[in-house]
A and B are shown apart, each in its own frame.
Chain A
Amino acid sequence: MAVSGVHFGGMRGIISFGGYVPYWRLDRSAIAAVMGKGGGRGTRSVASYDEDTTTMGVEAARLALRPADAEPRALWFATADPAYLEKTNATAIHAALRLDSSVGALDFGGAVRSGIGALRTALNAIGPTLVVTADMRGGLPTGADEAAGGDGAAAFLIGTEDDGPVVAELLGSASATEEFVDRWRQPGSPSTGQWEERFGETRYGPLADQAWKEALGAAGIGADDVDVAVVTGSHSRAVKRVVGQLGVARVADDLGAVVGNTGTAHPGLLLANELEQAEPGQTIAVVMLADGAEVLILRATEALAAYASALSVADQVAAGAEVSYATFLQWRDMIQVQPPNRPEPTRPSSSAAARAQDWKYGFVGSRGTESGTLHLPPARVSIRPEDELDAMDPAPMADVGATVVTFTIDRLVYSVSPPVVFAVVDFDGGGRLPVELTDVDPDAVRIGQRVEMTFRRLYEAEGIYNYFWKARPAR
C-alpha cells in the first residue's frame, strides 16, 4: 500500500472512544399492544424529542475526548439521518467540543455504510482524527425497522502513539463493494425500502467472505486468532449468515435486546462496548454489511489496561426509562398532537448565534478575574464591583457537575413534549443557572439532585435547529 509510509509515527489505532445510548427505551411489546401487530420482545433505544444525530454525536464525542490527552486535527461526522443537508452538521459538533478553527470538520453523509467507512478511512489516514457516528433508526409503525432499530452514537479518536497512547491498534482492514439495491431511502422519507431478503443475502455472503479474508491477510492472522468479532449491518439475515461463516471464537453481543440496531453508529457502538470489556492483547474484528462489506481488525494494547471510559456503554444500556409508544410516535413525527395555544418559538438569529458561539455551543461562561464569580451567559461587566470592565476569563462549564437548588414544572409554556421541567442549579465550585432539565421524570425531580450538562436541540423554527444545553440527572 502506497500510504503505508504514514505509519512512521508509530502504530495507528484508537486513542480513545465513547459510545452514547440515549436514555429512553421503547418496550417493543407496546407496539402490538396499540397496533395489533409489529414489535417483538425486548426494548429499543429512543432519542428524546430534543435529540438528533448531531446532539448524540456531541455526547459520544464528549465521552470519547474526556479520557484523551490528544487533540483531534480533524473531525469527521457520519450519519444516515443528518439534521441538515447542504449545511455541514459536523461544525455544530466542532463548536460544542470547542475545537480550534484550524481543525477541519466534515460530514460523511447519507449512507449507513459511511460510519464504518469514516472509521476505516481515519485508521488509514494522517493526523489525530475524531470520527463521530450517529444514527436514528426507525420506520413506519408496525414495521420491522421501527422495532429493530435503535438510536445512538459512537466516537473514536484515531491517531498514532505520537498523539497519545493507542489502546487498540489497527492490524488490518479491507473493503468489498458492489452495486445492488437492497435498502434505499429517499431524502425526507420516513421509512427505508428493502428488496426481497433472499436476494441481499446472496450478495452479502460472498462480499463479507472476500473482505474478511483480505483483512485477515493484511493483519497476518487467522480467523482463530480473533478473540471476538463485532458483526452488524443493514441486512439482518445476512448478518446471521456471516456470523456463522467467520469461524471466530466469539461473536459480540449486538445489543439488539435493549438498544436495537443503531445503523451508521452500530459498528462503533458495539466496538466501544467490546473495548470496554477487552483485555490487552485481545484481537477484535469489526464486520459491517452495508452495500458491501467493511472489515477492521484491531488488537487491544497494553495501554487499554490503564484506560477508563468516562461512561461505559454497558452502564448506559443498563440505565434508561420507558417511553410510551404514543410518545415515541409523537417524538418521531409519526403522529401530530395539538400544540399548546401559545406562540411557537422564533428562529435563532444566525449572526447573534455566531457571536455567542462559545456560549451557545460550547457552554462557556465568564469568570471575574478578581471575584471569581461565574457569569452564565458570559458578561463583560461583572455583578461584583471588584471586577474591572472586561476583566473576565472564559469559564468552560459543560463538564462541570451541578446540584438542583429548586425546581418547577411548567405546564403552560410551549414545548414539543410538555411539561417543561425547569431547575435552578448551582455548579460545583460556584455559579448558578436556571436551566431546563431533560431525560427526567417530572415526579422524580428533587432538591439536592445531581445533574450534568447535555447538548440538545431545543426546537426547530423555520427549518433552523436551535441547539443549546440542558441539564440532565447525573449518570
Chain B
Amino acid sequence: MASHGIKDQVAIIGMGCTQFREHWDKGTDDLLIDAATAAFDSAGVAKDDVDAFWLGTASSGMSGLTLSQPLKLEGKPVTRVENFCATGSEALRQASYAVASGAYDMAMAIGVEKIKDSGYQGLNAAPAPHDGTKRNLTAAAMYSLVLPAYAARYGVDEDELRMVVAKIAEKNHRNGALNPLAQFRREMPAEKICEMASVAGRLSVFDCSGVADGSAAAIVVRAADAHKYCEDPLYIKALSFVSGTGGGLIDPDYDYTTFPECEMAGADAYRQAGIDDPRSALAMAEVHDCFTPTEMVLMEDLGFCERGTAWKEVLAGTFERNGDMPINTDGGLKAFGHPVGASGLRMHYECWLQLRGQAGDDRQIDLSSRNLGLVHNLGGYPGEMVSFVSILGPELG
C-alpha cells in the first residue's frame, strides 16, 4: 500500500459557507457566488488569483460550466466532481493534490447542492438507465438496519439503543441551535424524538439529516506559501478516500454494526498524519451523521472508542461539545442540514473555525491539550459506500 499522503504540504487559507436551509429565494448560482465570495474575502484574494477550481455537486449541475458561468471565470480550469454525499470532500481532496503537485499555486474547492427545487421531500437522484433489479429502499431504511444488528451483537436492549441514538440527535440539535448558519436552530429532546412515528425501521424523521440547500468553499495553497495570505492557516495532515467493493451487501459475514470503508479510510488517514491514538490526538471530529445510528457506529470505526462501547460513551456525554471528544460541534448533518455536494466542505469549515479558535465564545471548544481535527464524510449505504477522512491542524509538524 502506498498512500503517502501530503501531510503539511497544503494549507487552507480561506473558507466560506452559506447558511444551510431551504433557500427558496436562491438558486445554485446564488449559492455558489455567495460561498465563493465569502472564501475569496476570507483569504483576501480575488477570483483571478485562483488558478484552478474543483466543483462538487451531486446533481445540481454538470460540468465546470456550473461554476465558471455564474462566477464568470475567464480562462480557468473547473472540474466538476461527484462522489455521492462525500462530493464536497472529494473536491477539496483534488484541489489539494493539484497545488501539492505544483501544477497550480492556488486552487478552490467548492461544493453546492440545490436540493429544494426538485418538488419532492428528501434526497432524490435521477438514476442512470438500469435493468430494473436495483433494490428499492431509502437510505434511512438501509441505515435503520444498524440498530437491531448492533443491539444483537453487543447485547444492548433495543429500546435503550433507540434512546441512545436519539441522544445523538439531541446533541447535534443542541449544537446546531447555537450555530447561526445551521438549518435547525431549535433544541430537540431525545425523549420527544423517541415518541415520534417511525419512518424507517425505528428511525423517525428526526433521526435523519436535515434536507437543505447550501454551498461551502475552501481556498488552498502550498503550505510554504500559506503565510503570504493568512496569519493562521489550517494545514492538511491527511486526506484519505476508500470506495468500497459493495461486498457487504452480499457477504454473509457482514453484520451491519460497522462500516469497513470508514474504518479503512480512518486507518489510512491516521497513518498519513502519524497518529497512533486518535482519541488522545484529536480535539474534535466532524463526522457523517446522515442518520443517528451512523454517528454511533462511526465512533467505533474511527477508533474514538472500543467496539461495542460507543453507545455507553454517548450516554456518558463523551461526544458533547464540552465532552472529552467533541463530535459535530456545528450541528452536523442532523441540524446543520445536508446539501449533498456542500456538506464535506461544511465539515471542514467547522474545523477551520474551531481549530483556529474562531467559533465564537458560546461554541468554541477547548484546544488547550489537543489541536487536531478530523473530518469524516461518507456516501452510500451500509455494505456499499465511499468514505473520506481528512485530518487538519493549525500547526506544522
Contact = CB atoms under 8 A, between A and B. Distances in A.
A406 B148 contact: yes
B130 A352 contact: yes
A250 to B, nearest CB: 47
B122 interface: yes
Consensus secondary structure, chain A interface? mixed
A348 B250 contact: no
Given A343-B124, A408-B200, A410-B141, A466 B132 contact: yes
A458 B135 contact: no
Given A342-B121, A375-B250, A409-B200, A360 B140 contact: no
Most chain A beta carbons < 10 A, residue from B148, B152, B249, B252: B252
Contact of B130 (A348, A373, A413): A348
A346 interface: yes
Most chain A beta carbons < 10 A, residue from B122, B132, B148, B256: B132
Given A348-B132, A434-B249, A424 B141 contact: no
Contacts of A345: 136
B136 A356 contact: no
A426 B256 CA distance: 14
Contact of A434 (B130, B137, B199): B137
A433 interface: yes
A355 B130 CA distance: 11
Interface string A360-387: 1000000000000111110000010000
A411 B201 CA distance: 8
B6 interface: no
A463 interface: no
B136 A415 contact: yes
29 contacts: A341-B120, A343-B120, A347-B132, A348-B130, A348-B131, A348-B132, A349-B131, A352-B130, A359-B133, A383-B245, A383-B247, A383-B251, A406-B145, A408-B141, A408-B144, A408-B200, A409-B198, A410-B138, A411-B200, A412-B138, A415-B136, A420-B141, A422-B137, A424-B145, A432-B251, A432-B252, A434-B142, A436-B137, A459-B136
Contact of B252 (A355, A356, A412, A426): A426
A424 B129 contact: no
Nearest to A357: B131
Interface residues of B, number: 38
B140 A412 contact: yes
B137 A432 contact: no
Contact of B132 (A342, A374, A458): A458
A40 interface: no
B242 interface: no
A305 interface: no
Contacts of A375: 250
A7 to B, nearest CB: 44
Given A343-B120, A412-B200, A420-B141, A468 B247 contact: no
A274 to B, nearest CB: 38
A410 B140 CA distance: 8
A414 to B, nearest CB: 7
B149 interface: yes
A213 B216 CA distance: 86
A432 B149 contact: no
Interface in A383-436: 383, 405-415, 420, 422, 424, 426, 430-436
B127 interface: yes
Nearest to A384: B247
Q: Which 8 A-B residue pairs are closest in the complex by CB-CB distance?
A: A348-B132, A410-B141, A383-B247, A408-B201, A349-B129, A466-B132, A352-B131, A356-B131
A130 B126 CA distance: 41
Nearest to A348: B132
Interface string B298-335: 00000000000000000000000000000000000000
Interface in A300-353: 341-343, 345-349, 352-353
Contacts of A426: 252
A468 B199 contact: no
B148 A420 contact: no
B56 interface: no
A435 B250 CA distance: 11
Most chain B beta carbons < 10 A, residue from A414, A422, A426: A422
A412 B130 contact: no
| Interface footprint category on A | 35 or more
B131 A431 contact: no
A409 B249 CA distance: 18
Most chain B beta carbons < 10 A, residue from A346, A374, A406: A406
Contact of B138 (A352, A383, A406, A413): A413
B136 A353 contact: no
Nearest to A468: B133
B137 A413 contact: yes
Most chain B beta carbons < 10 A, residue from A408, A420, A433, A434: A408
Interface string B341-373: 000000000000000000000000000000000
A349 B149 CA distance: 35
B88 interface: no
B131 A374 contact: no
Nearest to A422: B137
Contacts, number: 120
Contacts of A349: 129-132
Nearest to A374: B250
Contacts of B201: 408-409
A350 to B, nearest CB: 9
A375 B248 CA distance: 11
A433 B127 CA distance: 21
A398 to B, nearest CB: 13
Contacts of A422: 135, 137, 141
Interface in B103-146: 118, 120-122, 124, 126-127, 129-133, 135-138, 140-142, 144-145
Contacts of B126: 343, 346
Contacts of B122: 342, 412
Contact of A420 (B127, B137, B256): B137
A410 B247 CA distance: 23
B87 to A, nearest CB: 20
Contacts of A373: 251
B383 interface: yes
Contacts of B118: 343
Contacts of B249: 432-434
Contacts of A414: 136
B133 A408 contact: no
A385 B249 CA distance: 17
Nearest to A381: B245
Contacts of B145: 406-408, 424
Given A408-B142, A467-B132, 20 more contacts: A341-B120, A342-B121, A342-B122, A343-B120, A346-B130, A349-B131, A352-B129, A359-B133, A360-B131, A360-B133, A405-B252, A408-B200, A410-B140, A413-B136, A413-B137, A413-B138, A420-B136, A436-B136, A447-B148, A468-B132
A102 to B, nearest CB: 24
Interface in B248-271: 249-252, 254, 256
B269 to A, nearest CB: 24
B137 A342 contact: no
Contacts of A407: 145
A239 B198 CA distance: 52
B132 A434 contact: no
Contacts of A376: 250
A447 B133 CA distance: 24
A376 B136 CA distance: 15
